[in-house]
Each structure stands twice: as structure tokens, then as C-alpha cells.
Structure 1
Amino acid sequence: MQIYVVKSGDTLWQIAQRHGADFNQVVLANQMAEPGALVVGQALVIPQPAFEYVFQSGDSLARIASNYGVSLRALMEANNITDPNLVFTGEMLKIPSVTHTVQSGETLGEIARRYHVSVERIAQVNGIQPNAELAIGQRLRIPVLERPVKEINAYTTQINEQGAQEVTRHGRNFTYLSPFMHAVNEDGTFTPMQDQALLEAARSTGTAPLFVITNFKNRKFDSDLAAAILRNPDIQETLFTNLIAEMKQKGYRGLNIDFEYVYPQDRENYNSFLRRVVARMHPEGFSVSTAVAPKERADQPGLLYEAHDYKAHGEIVDFVIPMTYEWGWAGGRPWAISPINKMRDVLNYAVTAIPRNKIITGLSLYGRDWKIPWQEGTIARTISPEEGVQLARRYNEAIEYNETYQAPHFRYTDETGQRHEVWFEDARSMQAKYDLIKEYGLRGGSYWVLGNPFPQNWPVLQNNFKVRKI
């Protein structure tokens, strides 16, 4: 898979031809309703025909496997597919290997360059020496590039059938699904959730659901509610008992704790709470994870940060999710949601306090549309990456790309004369984030949040990682 950025004068047909790709496959991979209406600066994913195939209407997994000369089982395993009937139009499949018939004059080096695979890897798979002479007509198995195995968590706030359908479609890309959320109460109970459809979708795709608890009250994170729980061990034991019963009954695999705006004086109370919950959850076979504020240093001031003890969380729980997004928050000035330089600042500190194999960094799947000039008190509109491209097309604006933040953006004027500034995510910005996961040797990434159409993300993810299933 390659990422191509549209230039002035490009047509999709020319782009496909230039990359040796099938036009319809490019259309499907990018879910393009208007293939002829490209936007300058738009990032497209281009499938590599030898190793990638985009599922089309009328296809069957068995026929695709046969066409590429691989077993159905190998094709399913390479793509985390648990049910051959749960494959959808527009999904990109990674082909585990292909057969190449040697032509006159070809060398192993030339073949390796053609398929973007090392000579040594081809030689190993075929049981030959790297400097072996090839015979015309000789058949070689060409393996795909090996991808690092990482864990991917996905939060979803769509606790309905629409959310379940999205999980069914994309669940092969997730290790964990985190339905957001159950708010705890002062008496050790928690708010209910009609999560049956989501849990069934998770089961059908081999995704482990995590039970998310928060200190959310009256539509905001409540410091007093957190204090009521964290300062009372008896209430905690009641909460743990209730959680274990609910998680067992519904088939959850772990607990994810997202307590925010905790009073600084409750920092050690929070750490003690985590030790107690792990002591109760682990014997029952449940994992425990936390979501933490994006700190850049241990002593970072502010109600959002001070009670989140990175070192203690890293020692106590199974994994930690630094929420590396929302710099461009709805109530703030126009900015990238997850600027890569700020993500790097957080990770530079995080890896000094938390083992790298316990860090699952936050990844944003959305954008925002601000009115400008920006005024204090105004709220930006949250948009999907797909809508970002649609807005640029509608108002005939080129998409720009900020190299410092690794994020696309543009400005436009609406029908009333109001100016707007838009920041969102695209294939390039997600590639930069996946590169960050590899560079820092992290456990994986965590999406906030599902429900925003972003067709380019999934092939970019699949091109970078083999997602772990547990």
C-alpha cells in the first residue's frame, strides 16, 4: 500500500495507472462516492496489486484465496478474519504470499525490488541461496513484509445497533473494544448500559471487550465523585464485587479506568485504589488498564494531571493509555487534534516512567471545524476525516499539510461569509502516528473514537501492523 497526495491536474485514472493499480480497487479502498472530484492535497491509499486486494461486491474469500494461490485459512489468519462471511465491500485484504514465475534475465535482486521484499527473505522461504542463479520458469513464493504485532484498543460511544455494525465491520482491526462508559456512583454501583449488540459484535470478530468506568456525573468528570470512591475502601470493595459480577455475566475481558480531574491530594488514594482493584481482578482473569492525562513531566501542574502517577500506574496495571489527543479541543483555538510534536513530548516522558510494553498511546479519528477569527467561548464542530475532505471539495479549497504537527488543514468561507479553519486526520497523519508507535517500541494504539467515517485509516493500519488478538 502506498499513500499518494493529489496534485493539481491529477485524475484518479492517471494516479491508478502511475502506480500500476486497478482503478476500481483504488475507488473502493478510499470509499470514493465521487471518483472524479479530487481535492488538491487529498491523501489517497493505493493498494499494491501483488499483495493487497480490496473486497468487491460479489466476491468470496475462498475465490480470492484461490486466485492468489493461497489457502483460505492462511488468508483468514493474515487478516484476523474469524468468519469468512464477515468481510465487507471496500475492506483491504493482505495477501500472505504470491507465486512469481521467473522470466528470462531476471535476478533475485530484481524480483525482490519489484515486490519490496528482501533477497534474504525470498531465499529463506524458497530454500535457496541469496546469490542463486534462477531458471526460466522457476516458481518462487514471495512472502509479504512481516509486520510488527501490536495491540489496538477502540473506544466507542455509539451504544446502539449502528455502533455494533461498525464493530462488526472493523473489529478484525481491534484487540480490545471499550464501550464508553459506566459512571460509578457514590454507593459502589454504576450506571447501566445496553451493550448487548456491541458485545456480540466484539465476540464475532474475536475482539476482547473492556468494561470502562469513569467519575462522570451531570455530563462532566466530577472531582468530588472520584474523591468519594478513592477515599473509602469499603465502597471500593462494594464496587469491585459489583464490577466482577457484571463483567462475568456479560463476558467482558478486562476493566479500563478513566478517572479524570482527580484532586491532587487523592493521588496516593488513586494508586491504592488501583492496587486493590488489580488484587481483585487478576484472580478472576480480568486485565486492568487506565487512561491517563497527556503529561509531559512528572510534576506537571493542573487538576487534569497531578493525580495521574505515571510511574505507579506503570507498575500496578497491565497497560496504560496516555490520552494523546485533544490539543485542538472543541472549546479552544484552532489546532491539530493530535499534533505529532506534542505526542512525542508526552511519550518522551512516558517511556521514562512506564515500561514501553505497557504503553498504548491515544490516536484520534476525527477533526474539527472552527469559526475564525476565533473567540473565547465558541465551540468548534466535530467532524469526521471524510467530512473534512468533503468540505474542502465543496468550497473548492486545497488541503494543506503542517509538517510540524503532521496534520492536514485548510480554511474556507461559507455561504454566509463566515470564515472557518479545519483540522483533521488523513492517511499521512495516521502513518506518522503508527511510525511513532514503532519508533518508541510501544504496546500499541488506542482510538478515540469510533463513529467517524475514515476509510483510509484501516488499510494504513493493516499495512503497518498485525493486530494481536487475545
Structure 2
Amino acid sequence: MEIHVVQSGDTLWQIAQNYGTDINQIVLLNELDTPDVLIPGQSLVIPEPGREYVIQSGDNLWAIAQMFGVTIQELAAANNITDPSLIYVGQMLTHPYFSHIVQAGEYIWGIAQQYGVSAEQIMAANDIAQPGLIFPGQTLRIPIAAKPVTEVNAYTTQLSEEGRVEILRLGRYLTYLSPFRYSIREDGTLTQMQERPVLEAAGATNVAPLMVVTNFAQGEFNSDLAAAVFRNPETQERLITNLLEVMRTKGYAGVNFDFEYVYPEDRENYNAFLRRVVDRLHPEGFLVTTALAPKETADQQGLLYEAHDYQAHGEIADFVILMTYEWGWAGGEPWAIAPINEVIDVLDYAVTVIPRNKIMIGVPLYGRDWNIPWVEGTFAETVGPKEAVQLAARYGVQIQYHETYQAPFFHYVDESGQEHEVWFEDARSVQAKYDTVKEYGLRGVSYWALGSPFPQNWAVLQDDFRISKL
């Protein structure tokens, strides 16, 4: 897979010719509703011909396996498909093997080094008993080199049929699903949630669900609500008993605590609560995870940050999700949602106190559209990445790319004469985040949130990693 940035004058036919691929494959992979309209600065993901195939209407896994010359089992295993019937138009499948024609003087060990695999893997893939039993002109199947293994979590607020269909479609890219949300009450009980459709879809795609528990009430995170629980051990025990009942009944694999705007004086109370949770959940095999505000120092000031003890959470929890987004928040000035330089500043602190294999960084699946000049007290509209490109096309403006933030943006003027500034995510910006995950040796990524079409993300993710399943 390649990332192509559209230049002025580009046509889809020319781009397909340059990459030796089929126009329809590019259209499907990028979900281009108007293929004849390309915007300068727009990114496109391009499947590699012969190596990657984008599912078309009428396809089935058996026919695609036949086309690749492999078994259904080999194709499914290479693409994290648990149910061969759950394939979808627009998704990219990767061939499990390269083809290599043996040249005079070549040996299996040299061929293996060339492709980054072992000689034993090549021998097994080609039923070769002895390494010397190859000859010039022979076509060998070369297994694809192992990709870095990562874990992927996704929050979702869509709990209905629409959410169920989305999980069935995207489940092969996910390790965990976190339906948002259960809220605590002051007496240690929990609000209710009707998330059965998405839990069933998670089960069908071998995705482990995490029960999200928050101090969210009446439209905001409530500091007093968190304090009422954290300052009362009896209430905590009641809460843990209640969440255990939900987890057992609904089949959750673990819990994700997203307590925000906790009073600074409850920092140690929060840590003690987590230890109490671990003591009760770990013996039953449940995971305990937390979501943490993006801190750059241990003593960072502010109600959002002070009670989030990175070192303690890193010691207590099975893993943590760093909420590395919302620099460009709806009520603030226009800015990239997750500028990579800011994400890296958070990581540079986090890895000093949290084991790297316990850190997942947050990745936004959304953008924002601000009125400018920005006026304090006004709020931006949330837009999906695909929607953002459609906006640029509608108003005929070029998409720019900020190299420091590693994020696309553009300006436009609407029909009323109002100027706008839009920041969003594209293939390049998520590639920068995945490169950072690999560079820092992190556990993985966590998306906020499913619900906005972003087809490029899944192709880039698949190209970079093999997604771990529990």
C-alpha cells in the first residue's frame, strides 16, 4: 500500500496508471463517492497490485483465495478474518505470499534474507524437504514478513443496529471494543446501558469488550461524584460488586475506568480504589485498564491532570490509554486535534514512569470545523475525515498539511460569507501516529470514536501492523 497526495491536475486514471493498479480498486478503498473530483492536497491510499486486493460487490473469500492461489484458511489467517462470511466491499485483503522466481546461483538462505523471513518458513510454504532442492526458474511462495503485533481499542457511542453493523465490518482490526458508557452513582450503583447489539458483534469478530465506567452525569464529568465514591471504601466495594455482576452477565473481558476532572486531593484515593479493583477482578481473569489525561510532567497543573498518577496507574493497571487528542477542542481555538509533536511530548514523559508495553495512545477518528476569526464562547462542529474532504471539494479549496503537527487542514468561505478553518485526520496523519507507536515500542492505539467513516485509517493500520486478538 502506498499513500499518494493529489497534485493539481491529477486524475484518477493517471494515478492508477502510475501505480499499475485499477481505478476501481482505488475508488473502493478510499470510498470515493465522486471519483472524478480530486482535491489538491487530498491523500489517497493505493493498493499494491498483485499483493493487495480490495473487495468488490459480489466477491466471496473462496473466489479471492482462488485468485491468489491460496486456501481460504491461509487468506483468512493473513487478514485476521475469524468468520469467512464477514467480508465487506471496500476492505483490503493482503496476499499471504510473495512469488519469487529462482535465479541461477540463488540459495534459500539468501532468498530468505532478501524477504526478511527464515529459510524454514520458505521450505514449509513450498513443501521443500531439503534446502538445496531448488532450481533456476522455479517459482517459490515467500511468506509475508511478520509485521509488528499491536493491540487496538475503539470506543463507540453507537449501541444500536448501526453500531452492530460497524463492529461486524471493523472487528478484524480491533482487539478491544469499549462501548461508552456506564456511569457511577453516589451509592455505588451503576446506570444502565443497552449495548447488547455491539457486544454480539464483538463476539462474532473475536473482539474483547471492555466495560467503560465513568463519573459522567448530566452531560459532564462530575468531580463530586468521583469524590463520593473514592472517599468511601464501603461504596467502592458496592461499586465493584455491581460492575462484576454486569461483566459476568454481559461477557465483558475487563473494565476501563474513564474518571475525569477528579479533585487533586482524591489522587491517592483513586489509586487505592484501583488496587481494590485489581484485588477483586484479577482472580477472575478480568482486565483492569484506565484512561488518562495527556500529561507532559508529573506535576502538571489543572483539574483534568492532577489526580491522574501516571506511575501508580502504570504499576496497578494492565494497561493505560493516554487520551492524546483534543488539543483542538470544540470550545477552543482552531488547532490540530492530535498534533504529533504534542503527542510525543506526552510520550516522552509517560515512558519514564509507565512500562511501554502498557501504553496505548489515543487516536482521533474525527476533525473539527471552526468559524474564524475565532470568538471565545463559540464551538466548532465535529466532522469526520471523509466529510472533511467532501467539504474541501464542495468549496473547491486546496488541502494543506502542517509538517510540525503532521495534520491536514484547509480554509473555506461558506455561502453566507463566513470563513472556516478545518483540521482533520488523513492517511498521512495516522501513519505518523503508527510510526510513533513503533518507534516507542508501545502496546498499541485506542480510537475515539467509531461512527465517522474513515476508510483510509483501516488500510494504513493493516499495512503497518498485525492486530492481536485475545
TM-score by length of 2: 0.95
1:99 CA drift (Å) = 3.2
2 CA distance for matches of 1:123 and 1:201?
A: 39
2 CA distance for matches of 1:424 and 1:90?
A: 22
Residue of structure 2 equivalent to 1:78: 78
1:117 CA drift (Å) = 8.5
1:203 CA drift (Å) = 0.4
Residue of structure 1 equivalent to 2:325: 325
1:139 CA drift (Å) = 1.0
- 5+ residue gaps, structure 1, are none
2 CA distance for matches of 1:58 and 1:349?
A: 50
Letter in 1 for 2:422: V
2 CA distance for matches of 1:13 and 1:57?
A: 21
Letter in 2 for 1:430: V
1 CA distance for matches of 2:310 and 2:371?
A: 36
Secondary structure of 1:277's aligned partner: helix
Secondary structure of 2:252's aligned partner: coil
Secondary structure of 2:301's aligned partner: coil
Assess, with a 3 A threshold, how the Cα gap between structure 1 residues 85 and 246 changes in structure 2: closer, same or farther.
Answer: same
Letter in 1 for 2:114: S
Assess, with a 3 A threshold, how the Cα gap between structure 1 residues 123 and 20 changes in structure 2: closer, same or farther.
Answer: farther
- 5+ residue gaps, structure 2, are none
Residue of structure 1 equivalent to 2:14: 14
1:60 and 2:60 are equivalent in the alignment:
yes
2 CA distance for matches of 1:176 and 1:147?
A: 19
Residue of structure 2 equivalent to 1:118: 114
Letter in 1 for 2:262: V
Deviates more, 1:422-431 or 1:162-171: 162-171
1:253 CA drift (Å) = 0.5
Alignment of 1:112-261 (within 5 A): 118-119=114-115, 121=117, 125-127=121-123, 135-261=135-261
Secondary structure of 1:431's aligned partner: helix
2 CA distance for matches of 1:197 and 1:348?
A: 39
Assess, with a 3 A threshold, how the Cα gap between structure 1 residues 178 and 120 changes in structure 2: closer, same or farther.
Answer: closer
1:125 CA drift (Å) = 3.8
1:468 and 2:464 are equivalent in the alignment:
no
Residue of structure 2 equivalent to 1:50: 50
Secondary structure of 2:266's aligned partner: helix
Q: Is the 8 A contact 1:184 1:213 kept in 2?
A: yes
Q: Is the 8 A contact 2:117 2:144 kept in 1?
A: no
Secondary structure of 1:118's aligned partner: helix
Q: Is the 8 A contact 2:292 2:321 kept in 1?
A: yes
2 CA distance for matches of 1:206 and 1:185?
A: 32
Percentage of matched positions with identical amino acids: 62
Secondary structure of 1:267's aligned partner: helix
Q: Is the 8 A contact 2:160 2:197 kept in 1?
A: yes
Q: Is the 8 A contact 2:99 2:139 kept in 1?
A: yes
CA deviations 1:399-456 (Å, max 9, x no partner) are 0000000000000000000000000000000000000000000000000010011010
Residue of structure 1 equivalent to 2:25: 25
Letter in 2 for 1:118: Q
2 CA distance for matches of 1:106 and 1:403?
A: 46
1:123 CA drift (Å) = 5.3
CA deviations 1:37-73 (Å, max 9, x no partner) are 1110000000012221111111110111122122211
2 CA distance for matches of 1:335 and 1:38?
A: 25
CA deviations 1:72-124 (Å, max 9, x no partner) are 1111111111111100000111211143445x889799x98xxx983453755
Letter in 2 for 1:199: L
1:284 CA drift (Å) = 1.4
Residue of structure 1 equivalent to 2:270: 270
CA deviations 1:310-335 (Å, max 9, x no partner) are 00000001000010000000000000
Residue of structure 2 equivalent to 1:363: 363
1:126 CA drift (Å) = 3.2
